[in-house]
Amino acid sequence: MSDDARRLEVAPSAWAKIIELATVDPRLETGGILLGWRIETGIHIAKAMHVPDRTARRTRYQRRHSIAEGALANALDLLPSDSPVGYVGEWHTHPALVGPSRVDRKELRRISRKTENEVALLIAALDDERDGWAAFGLTAARRQLYPGVVELHTKSGNEEGDRQAR
């Protein structure tokens, strides 16, 4: 991992949810928001939530702000008051094996201006040659982008380690 790279630890259930939603129509982009917590070396992604975009195309997904905010508020209301889980970023799919686009990078910078916390972008890209999905990640803090090293966890568990509250 390079000195400026940040880790994106992805829980198995979060990745499974993304792939489930991606395979509904893999020719179109889809996406949503990520819940989790920050760790010293990056972000732990515990849950992926879907935010539908009825205007999505092969090369475009636009997160609907009001729908996302409502879904996030509902999800957080269901958590115990001392839960470290909170908003940590965005995810979407690409129906081809490509990482974050220029538009994706610009949007992540815009989102990072609105918070003091580091935020993540996780992309699931269709890999036709391997008949599966590849993961690409970025993080941003105060408009500065950092490469994200995505770690798809294969074990489920409740990591109590180095969590930060929302």
Contacts of 72 (CB under 8 A, 6+ apart): 33, 35, 49, 87
For residue 130, the tally of other CB atoms under 10 A from its CB is: 9
Q: Are 63 and 106 in contact (CB under 8 A)?
A: no
For residue 155, the tally of other CB atoms under 10 A from its CB is: 6
Range of the domain at 100: 6-152
Q: How many domains does the chain have?
A: 1
pLDDT at 160 over 70: no
Confidence of residue 3 (pLDDT cuts 50, 70, 90): low
Q: What is the pLDDT of residue 53?
A: 84
Query: What would the pLDDT profile of 112-141 be if each residue is shown by its tens digit?
Result: 998 889 999 999 999 988 889 999 999 999
User: Which CATH number belongs to the domain containing residue 64 in this structure?
Assistant: 3.40.140.10
Query: What would the pLDDT profile of 32-71 be if each residue is shown by its tens digit?
Result: 999 999 999 999 999 999 998 888 888 888 888 888 888 8
Question: Cα separations (Å) of 15 from 106, 134, 137?
Answer: 24, 11, 13
Structure tokens at 23: 């395979």
Which residues on neighbouring strands pair with residue 139, listed in sequence order? 120, 146
Q: How far apart are CA 132 and CA 135, in angstroms?
A: 10
Q: Does any domain span residue 140?
A: yes
Q: How far apart are CA 64 and CA 98, in angstroms?
A: 23
Q: Are 155 and 12 in contact (CB under 8 A)?
A: yes
Confidence of residue 153 (pLDDT cuts 50, 70, 90): confident
Q: Does any domain span residue 146?
A: yes
Q: Does any domain span residue 164?
A: no
In terms of C-beta density within 10 A (0-12 exposed, 13-18 middle, 19 or more buried), how is residue 156 classed? exposed
Q: Does any domain span residue 157?
A: no
Q: Does any domain span residue 71?
A: yes
